[in-house]
Structure 1
């Protein structure tokens, strides 16, 4: 199931620099979100599918008991809710 390529720190760094440059001109964050997460995982030598990851997984927040979605969930490894820069700035003000 798990087929993670062993990459050196230098390879990972180079991959992340290329990733940063490839997303530099993105203006539609929501439209590119899933592609970004797939590309980010590949920069570390893994794929979402091989790790059993899922996008938009239903979830219940323990603190409020409200329901929503986790943008990216990888069993035993990570869960990620993506927030746009605009949302962060609105929340912070």
Structure 2
């Protein structure tokens, strides 16, 4: 199994375990103190997307490539309950307890 296949499978398994057919919201807390909500859409014929909402209601929508969601200088890479968030070249680790 290639790394890309494993990431794709991991993202599909995570989204499938979230239960909702249209979207699932998870709250993350990051090591740098950021808090965010990730609203995942379930992939239809494509790979899906996530809407990240930060404090102050700033929202960013990222397209999926397996467990990796990216747009411009923002990347949100999920693996299980952990995630890596990169914004403007700065990376932090995040996790959800949900």
Specify which structure has the higher proportion of helix: 1
Q: TM (normalized to structure 1)? A: 0.31
Specify which structure has the higher proportion of strand: 2
Q: Select the structure of larger CA radius of gyration.
A: 1
Q: TM (normalized to structure 2)? A: 0.30
